[in-house]
Chain A
Amino acid sequence: MHTDGYGKMKATLSGKDETGLNGETVIQANGLVKAFGDVRAVDGVDLEVRRGEIFGLLGPNGAGKTTLISMLTTILTPDTGSASVCGYDIRTEAEQVRRVASLVPQDLALYGGLTAKENLDFFASLYGLRGETKRRRIEEALDVAGLREWAGRRVSTFSGGMKRRLNLAVGLLNRPQVLFLDEPTVGVDPQSRRHIFECVRRLVAKYGMTVVYTTHYMEEAETLCDRVAIYDKGRILDLDRTDALLARHGGRRIEVRPAHEEDVERLGDVLKDTFGAEAVTFAENRWVVRADDPLDSPERAIAAVKRSGVAVESFAVREADLETVFLRLTGKSLRDE
């Protein structure tokens, strides 16, 4: 893998690598740009996704992940740059792209007044499915989603988790070669989330499907994805397997939560004096410190807290994870306020 400077990373792998994946490229993007007024939601993205992999796009809300996915699924047209999905150009062969790829959108795209089965029947018809093939695909989709028992009920009566599962089932009707999952577990209960993860793994194993999975939850990216692209402000900052990213950017982090809101600033000042401003960031009511030295940093943090005289609600030392990687690459938390 080689880098082209900060902001653009190209992963070019051929043949099988240590992940065991076939090297065939199913998604290729070069210099994709999309701006809305002054805001460049996608700012020069190069990307290659290989057949059969679960590719994660990890970034906070507003990073531009959905815009990137929208271009690859032909909803939006890039301002500049090019991309292809399964060899079909997203600009000139949009209809073919739509036949081989499928999007499970972040917003639930279901008709509440129709039953689960009627929703599946409608979308299957638009894919051109007919007769016995259509019937079988609908049954399969209901099984995958675990919704066979509720097939005849109107979607407006479903829980959020059930709707998410049906949303996923709709995306599988055409047995796509590439499945784009845009934040599929937002607002979902843990049981439904586990169900979605199992579905994704089974689809890849059974059909060799390629999955592009966008999320702002690092646990999902770590658990599910073969490779993860760290994405922020329209750019891929780094891209690799999780273990490689951790090895490159990992390290512990220290999290300190003050007991009183009025002490936040004072505590922050002390921590910045101790570790340097670039190593300290504030997210979700806690100060997060990059612990470059795993042995010395926690002690220095404790000393700094004592020096500040601030009462602390919690003090934690966390092992390296993608949250740390994101913090080191962007200077902020994945869930920054």
Chain B
Amino acid sequence: MAKVWHLAVKDLRLLMRDVPGLVFLFITPIVIIAVASFALSGVFANEARPFDLPVVLEDDGEAARALVDALSGIGAFRVLTTYEGDEGGQAQMTRDKAKQLLKDTKAAVVIPNGFSDALAKGEPAKLIVLSDPSDRVIPSVVHQTMTQLATQLALARSGQRLPPVEVVQEVPVDASGERPTPFEANVPGYAVMFMLLGTTMGAVALLEERENGTLRKLRTLPVSAADILGGKALSNFLTALVQSAVLFAAGRLLFGMRLGESIAGLILMIVCTAFAATGLAMLLASLCKTRAQANGVSILVVLTMSALGGSWWPLYIEPEWMQKAAHVTVTAWAMDGFTALLVYGGGLADVWRPAAALAAMGAAFLAAGWWRFSRKERFL
């Protein structure tokens, strides 16, 4: 273990003197995160496929039913007034259920009790649009749609302008009472991407040792192949941890990003993501023959994972099949965990599954990389 430590310290010392490498690890991601977050705050929704839209029908009057019928006639929405209950049958949609579904549907409509009566009496009526805290677009679209439909409904009934129907947007807040900002989604997304890019630098460093002859020298010392790979992996892992800590701290201090309700959960996710990223880097190093090859393969793998896995845009805007496929990537599991913590205010119990998946991926990658590396003559 002491030899592993010395091997790791040597690599970290070299990294501290690599100014371009340090800029890449710490300054570049902060700049990218700032630009992307401000630029993408008005990102548009995909209208190509119908969105599931839960509708809570608390009023069973004629106007409420007519409103639901009109909403169902719009091709962009698939109106859900019921859901499959615990006992198997269909249950009426409720506010609580609609709030639960918000993570997937991003918006829901509540037609409160008294809506139809208010319209019939010519009094102001109210509709509620429940909004997912991480999305700005779909709730806006639903809000505008409901405003339009409600106005048309009122005009159709009386032929003259009636008191307006107020459409209120409601965002469920967590225990802190704060509403998420774009940084809660963007900082983790780009942190994961740059963590993956950073650990692949470690992969390139292993190949550099092979190319410049130091690996061959190390193999003549009383040091095992496991020690060498372990030292490289440890320095990578520690670098990824420090990088993440700096990026999350920058997100908090510079952009006011929330760190969620569970610091333990956040630490767990950071550690597991760093572990998976380290394993991936070691596997890539063992598969590549040259530094140039490792650079090319690493960038390709990382950017693909980032695009597919939700670093750059929310996973839900991708087709269903792609959302499922994305979960072969480190990025998707990492984003599941960070989103649960930072956007939805979840705790340790909400991230055990993504953390376990990341830990398993890291272990599998390291094992595969070790198997390749241990065939020493091929690697030398």
Contacts and interface: CB of A to CB of B under 8 A. Distances in A.
Interface of A: 73-77, 95, 98-99, 101-103, 105, 107-111, 113-114, 118, 122-123, 125-128, 170
Given A77-B377, A109-B213, A114 B222 contact: no
A109 B217 contact: yes
A41 to B, nearest CB: 12
B221 A127 contact: yes
Interface in B50-77: none
Contacts of B10: 111, 114, 118, 122
A108 B380 CA distance: 15
A222 B197 CA distance: 53
Contacts of B13: 113-114, 118
5 contacts: A76-B377, A109-B217, A110-B214, A111-B10, A128-B3
Query: Interface on chain B toward A: helix, strand, loop, or mixed SS?
Result: helix
Contacts of B2: 125
Given A75-B380, A118-B13, A103 B220 contact: yes
Contacts of A114: 10, 13-14
B216 interface: yes
A105 B217 contact: yes
A98 to B, nearest CB: 5
B187 to A, nearest CB: 31
A116 to B, nearest CB: 14
Contacts of B213: 105, 107-109
B166 interface: no
B219 interface: yes
Interface of B: 2-3, 6-7, 10, 13-14, 17-18, 212-214, 216-223, 377, 380
B220 A98 contact: yes
B263 to A, nearest CB: 36
B6 A122 contact: yes
A250 to B, nearest CB: 36
B7, B18, B216 interface centre (most CB from chain A within 10 Å): B216
Contacts of A74: 219-220
A109 B6 CA distance: 17
Given A77-B377, A114-B10, A126 B212 contact: no
A75 B228 CA distance: 14
Nearest to A34: B377
B216 A109 contact: yes
Contacts of B7: 126
Contacts of A170: 217
A111 B380 CA distance: 18
Given A77-B377, A108-B213, A110-B214, A126 B14 contact: no
Contacts of B220: 73-75, 98, 101-103, 105
A178 to B, nearest CB: 12
A107 B10 CA distance: 20
B223 A126 contact: yes
A125 B221 CA distance: 11
B223 A105 contact: no
B222 A99 contact: yes
B324 to A, nearest CB: 44
A127 B222 contact: yes
A111 B214 contact: yes
Contacts of A77: 377
Nearest to A94: B222
A316 to B, nearest CB: 38
A105 B216 contact: yes
Contacts of A126: 3, 6-7, 218, 221-223
Residue of A75, A105, A127 ringed by the most chain B CB atoms within 10 A: A75
Contacts of A107: 212-213, 216
A187 to B, nearest CB: 14
A118 B12 CA distance: 13
Contacts of B380: 75-76
Given A109-B214, A114-B13, 7 more contacts: A73-B220, A74-B220, A76-B377, A76-B380, A102-B220, A113-B14, A118-B10
B222 A113 contact: no
A183 to B, nearest CB: 12
B229 to A, nearest CB: 14
A44 B3 CA distance: 37
Contacts of B214: 109-111
A24 to B, nearest CB: 23
Contact of B219 (A75, A108, A123): A75
Nearest to A73: B220
A67 B3 CA distance: 28
B14 A103 contact: no
B216 A75 contact: yes
Q: In this complex, which of A74, A108, A113 has the most chain B Cβ atoms within 10 angstroms of its Cβ? A: A113
A128 B6 CA distance: 10
B106 to A, nearest CB: 49
B14 A128 contact: no
Contacts of A122: 6, 10
Contacts of B219: 74-75
